[in-house]
Amino acid sequence: MQDLPPSFTELPTVQRFVQDLETKDLSEAERHARLALLAEFCAFVGKTPDEMVNEIFDTETRKYKKRNFYTARVKEFSAQIEGSWSERTARGNVIRNFFIANGRRLPNETPDWL
Amino acid sequence: MEFKQAVGNRRTIRYFKSWQPVEAAKIQKILEAARLQCYHGNAQLTRKAVVIERGKTPDDIREQMIDALYNQPQVQQAPVFIVWAIDMSGWEHLRENLKELIRVRALNSTHGWSHEFIETAVMPTPDFNVMAGDRTFAEWLTAFECGLSVGTALLAAVDEGLGTSLVTGRRGQIREILGMPEYVTPTQIQLVGYPAESPEAGGQRPRPPYEELFFDGSWGTPLARDEQVAEELKAAGMIQPDGPLPWRAAEIRALSQMFGLPE
């Protein structure tokens, strides 16, 4: 298991995500895998976690500003792997969870049967 | 179901079986229960509701409503929405409604009621005829009256073996989607369906201590709680084990995987 650099894990938004993961019934390996996936997404969009959280929402107008951008990137990120709809959605949901832990929400995927 | 059990079983359900429709008779029973709740001045036309049903209401209306309710997962899943609304024009019938109560012998001279009393005392007094006074108070009271019906509708849904919950949305958008006139304001939206989560929904929710909510004779003086009574209510199913139940985290994980939601 490759350690993530402190310059990543010590960011305030990542710390919030870590705290959120600790409240869930997850093994250490699962928690680490989710952090690694977040790091992979950050590389994919070329932003730090703090930058993503800061730019998705305008705290003055209290409105989302780059929500569509991140929604589309998460979908692309999900589609990068082979597998079932559930497996691909679970990949994107880790990023949605990161935003949720930081008080922001991206629209969820809905299965065809819904 | 016994009343105490229905009160105890009620939870805010956030996961619904989207694939299982709610029987029309059950929806009607919920609305019939709401209709029978008490009204200030018997102003019966001040609270109303629009029912949205998956597979019956046009899809575009339902989809617009889901958007107006912030695309929340439980809204996407629930097969029925009951959009509760206050209709301020309902107060126009207050005079006739009160006279009707005299006719059916609900209001009697034992308490000073007469047609003349309605005309000369009730109608000019804002505490009774709320439209004669401050509009804010009138709207507050109307919303309160609507809430009485909604509370009953929640319990009626539980009594029918259904899951239910309340959500808010963008009121202006909802008014436009449903063609409500400007004197009508949507309030809470009741979601109804068969629960996909267990009926316990992880256990009873946290509540403030009894003594912090209810006072004895003056504000702030705690009203003592009789623990023996509380034990009786536990036996009757009204007071149930607090959440989270031991299996709740696993249940949420399974539900999130089934619906494709973030855990």
Which tens digit of pLDDT belongs to each residue from B72-104?
999 999 999 999 999 999 999 999 999 999 999
In this complex, which of B250, B260, B262 lies closest to A25 when CB atoms are compared?
Answer: B250
Q: Write down the pLDDT at residue A2.
A: 64
Q: Write down the pLDDT at residue B235.
A: 98
* Mean predicted lDDT score pLDDT of chain B: 96
pLDDT category, A108, cuts 50, 70, 90? very high
pLDDT digits 0-9 by tens, B43-59: 889 999 999 999 999 99
Residue A31 lies in a domain: yes
Residue A11 lies in a domain: yes
Is pLDDT at A9 greater than 90 in this prediction?
Answer: yes
Residue A1 lies in a domain: no
pLDDT digits 0-9 by tens, B23-42: 999 999 999 999 999 999 88
Residue A17 lies in a domain: yes
Q: Write down the pLDDT at residue A25.
A: 82
Euclidean distance between CA atoms B64 and B175, whole angstroms: 11
Q: Nearest CA of chain B to the CA of A21: how many Å?
A: 10
Is pLDDT at A1 greater than 60 in this prediction?
Answer: no
Domains with residue ranges and CATH for chain B: 9-196 (3.40.109.10)
- What is the arithmetic mean of pLDDT over A13-20? 97
Is pLDDT at B15 greater than 90 in this prediction?
Answer: yes
- Name, in order, each residue with C-beta under 8 angstroms of B80's C-beta and a sequence gap of 6 or more: B22, B27, B51, B52, B53, B54, B191, B192, B193
pLDDT digits 0-9 by tens, B205-229: 999 999 999 999 999 999 999 999 9
Residue A113 lies in a domain: no
DSSP reduced 3-state for B187: strand
Residue A111 lies in a domain: no
Beta bridge partners of B85: B48, B186
Task: Indicate yes or no: CB of B19 within 8 angstroms of CB of A109.
Answer: no
Q: Nearest CA of chain B to the CA of A84: how many Å?
A: 11
Domain that holds residue A97: 6-101
Task: Indicate yes or no: CB of B260 within 8 angstroms of CB of A100.
Answer: no
Task: Indicate yes or no: CB of B256 within 8 angstroms of CB of A114.
Answer: no
Cβ of residue A1 closer than 8 Å to a chain B Cβ: no
Name the percent of chain B lying above pLDDT 90: 93
In this complex, which of A97, A100, A113 lies closest to B19 when CB atoms are compared?
Answer: A113
Residue A49 lies in a domain: yes
Q: Write down the pLDDT at residue B166.
A: 98
User: Into how many domains does chain A fold?
Assistant: 1
Q: Longest Cα pair distance anywhere in chain B, in angstroms?
A: 66
**Count of residues for chain B?**
263
pLDDT digits 0-9 by tens, A38-72: 999 999 999 999 999 999 999 899 889 999 999 99
pLDDT category, A29, cuts 50, 70, 90? very high
In this complex, which of A86, A97, A108 lies closest to B73 when CB atoms are compared?
Answer: A108
Task: Indicate yes or no: CB of A89 within 8 angstroms of CB of B19.
Answer: no
pLDDT category, B129, cuts 50, 70, 90? very high
Euclidean distance between CA atoms A80 and A44, whole angstroms: 11
Contact A30, A93 (CB under 8 A): no
Task: Indicate yes or no: CB of B263 within 8 angstroms of CB of A24.
Answer: yes
Euclidean distance between CA atoms B99 and B113, whole angstroms: 9
Q: Write down the pLDDT at residue A3.
A: 83
Contact B85, B51 (CB under 8 A): no
Among candidate residues B65, B78, B55, B1, the one with its CA nearest the CA of residue B33: B1
| Tokens (6 digits) for B13 | 């359900």
> Helix, strand, coil shares of chain A as percentages rounded to 5?
60, 5, 35
B59, B170, B256, B261: best mutation site toward chain A, by most A Cβ within 10 Å?
A: B261
Residue A68 lies in a domain: yes
Is pLDDT at A99 greater than 60 in this prediction?
Answer: yes
What part of A 48-87 touches B (C-beta under 8 Å)? 85-86
Task: Indicate yes or no: CB of B260 within 8 angstroms of CB of A111.
Answer: yes
Q: Write down the pLDDT at residue B81.
A: 98
